[in-house]
Structure 1
Amino acid sequence: MDIATIIGLVGAFGIIYMAISANAAAFVDTASLLIVVAGSIAVVLARCTLSEFLGAIGVLGKAFSRKIENPFELINQLVELATIARKDGMIALEGQDIKNAYMAKAVAMLVDGTDPDIIKSSLERDTAMMKQRHAMGAGVFSAWGEIAPAMGMVGTLAGLVIMLGNMSDPKAIGPAMAIALLTTMYGAILANVICLPMAQKLANASALEAANNELILEGVLFMQSGGNPRVMGDMLASFVAPKMRSKIAAQ
């Protein structure tokens, strides 16, 4: 669970609620919600396929789960596996407890004696497809973040038209003005509190996972070439922050 996502969303909505709590009922308008929320969803669907939209909702879980391994731990595991393979052969890697699915696939290909070029192309293809799925998910939320304020402006213009058309009726001015202002507010909140932050989270998660996959690929290919496990740690140290490299060197 990525606690930062939860804190950010709860904090943002909490601050907004605290600011309007004295007169919260005045900030609820069904027509404005329909224009911004339902309208923006409809426009997003017009810009992508239904499967792409549903896929983006599925990918959204990464913004909350953030189950991305620490590269330092991945390096340690790769060095352990390389030590086992150097001592007892590749077949000894079979049955090892490997939680990372990408690493598990790579090690299975090592055990099967797969050609290095095939291992590299297969794993690179997996990473490319992963990045494509994440990019599509982030793109949907980025598009949603662009559309929501625009739908808010549509609601604002609709409210102004209604208000100007009923200037002779004082009772109609208030509801029309509420639609005009609240749709802009709803659009800004939907875009800047939900959609755009989620798009950024997904893009960051994709970049981190791709870097981990590259780390694993480099380690597996080095392992297959029969490289020294001690050298592997130094070679892969570039994938971690400088302050962590001293720990790898110490180990």
Structure 2
Amino acid sequence: MDIVLSNVGRFFDPLTFVLVLGSVLIMAWIQNGRGSFVLALSALINCGRDPFAESGENATFMCRRIDFVLREEGFLGLERVRSPDVFVTRVIQYLLNAKDAKTFEEWARLEEHAIQKKQNMMATYWSAASEIAPAIGLIGTIIGLVQLFATGIDPLKMGPAMSFTLLTSLYGLFISNIVAFPIYVRLQARAEILNAYRAAAVQHMIAIAKRELLIVGPVHFSPQQPLRAAS
């Protein structure tokens, strides 16, 4: 440990570290598509927090609260119901303004799918970064070895090439196992909690919509006058 602390400057090359990290982030962005980079960085703000640790909210409590308001205040009383999750609050407000149960169900299912995809993308980005980082480090190691062999036996040139060779592998493993993978584990756990909560809330509100709102059946064409056969 004393050797590491006394020679910490030798283990950290800012340019090489930024090169490896930048390559990892760019490749993970390419793999996960447009918008994934911004979502992945924004997710770091609440990465270590349980989404409902402070409020004690859960899907069962939320559904029972909705049922209580319906029983005590009626359908319009749902306007005062709020959830710690912005998405669930938005679904409740849309339910109040929905014209029929079928339209609400279609909208809710599409919105649920979109928000789940967005939530999962935050975790999958860091999962991809965790898998890509060792490969980027290995590529840097191979480049360093090629440079090392190209210099021959010149001791003055072997040092920098060997340093680059080892540091890229070190940074790749560090980014993968110390940075990206722990972030992925936390975001994946958070996504599972939120997705389960939202799915249960949406399913409950769809059931309410079918009970409280007009159910529109399939549209059938009914001509104003009977059609006459051509003579």
Q: Where on the TM-score scale, by shorter chain, does this alignment land: which range?
A: 0.7 to 0.9
Give the drift of 1:71.
Answer: 7.5
SS at match of 2:186: helix
Q: How does 1:106-125 map to 2 (within 5 A)?
A: 106-112=91-97, 114-125=99-110
User: Cα–Cα, structure 1 residues 108 and 134, in superposed 2: closer, same or farther, change >3 Å?
Assistant: closer
Match of 2:151 among 166, 179, 186: 166
CA RMSD, aligned part only? 3.1
Q: Distance in 2 between matches of 1:146 and 1:192?
A: 9
Give the drift of 1:174.
Answer: 2.2
* TM-score (norm: length of structure 2): 0.74
Q: Please list every run of 5 or more consecutive structure 2 residues that lacks an aligned counterpart in the other structure.
A: 213-231
- Which residue number corresponds to residue 131 of structure 1? 116
Q: Distance in 2 between matches of 1:65 and 1:165?
A: 50
- Which residue number corresponds to residue 33 of structure 1? 17
Cα shift readout 1:165-188 (whole Å, capped 9, x = no counterpart):
334322222222111111101000
User: Cα–Cα, structure 1 residues 18 and 76, in superposed 2: closer, same or farther, change >3 Å?
Assistant: farther
Higher radius of gyration, 1 or 2: 2
Comparing 193-202 with 152-161, which one deviates more in the overlay? 193-202
Q: How does 1:88-99 map to 2 (within 5 A)?
A: 88-99=73-84
* Alpha carbons 1:33, 1:183 under 8 Å: kept: yes
Cα shift readout 1:222-250 (whole Å, capped 9, x = no counterpart):
545669xxxxxxxxxxxxxxxxxxxxxxx
Cα shift readout 1:81-110 (whole Å, capped 9, x = no counterpart):
322322332123333444432332333344
Comparing 30-39 with 154-163, which one deviates more in the overlay? 30-39
SS at match of 1:147: helix
Q: Distance in 2 between matches of 1:141 and 1:47?
A: 11
1:151 aligns with 2:127: no
Q: Distance in 2 between matches of 1:19 and 1:211?
A: 49
Comparing 132-141 with 188-197, which one deviates more in the overlay? 132-141
Which is helix-richer, 1 or 2?
A: 1
Structure 2 letter corresponding to 1:25: G
Q: How does 1:33-52 map to 2 (within 5 A)?
A: 33-47=17-31, 49=33, 51-52=35-36
| 4+ residue segments displaced more than 6 Å | none
The number of equivalent residue pairs is: 211
Q: Percent identity?
A: 20
Q: Please list every run of 5 or more consecutive structure 1 residues that lacks an aligned counterpart in the other structure.
A: 1-16, 228-251
Give the drift of 1:116.
Answer: 2.9
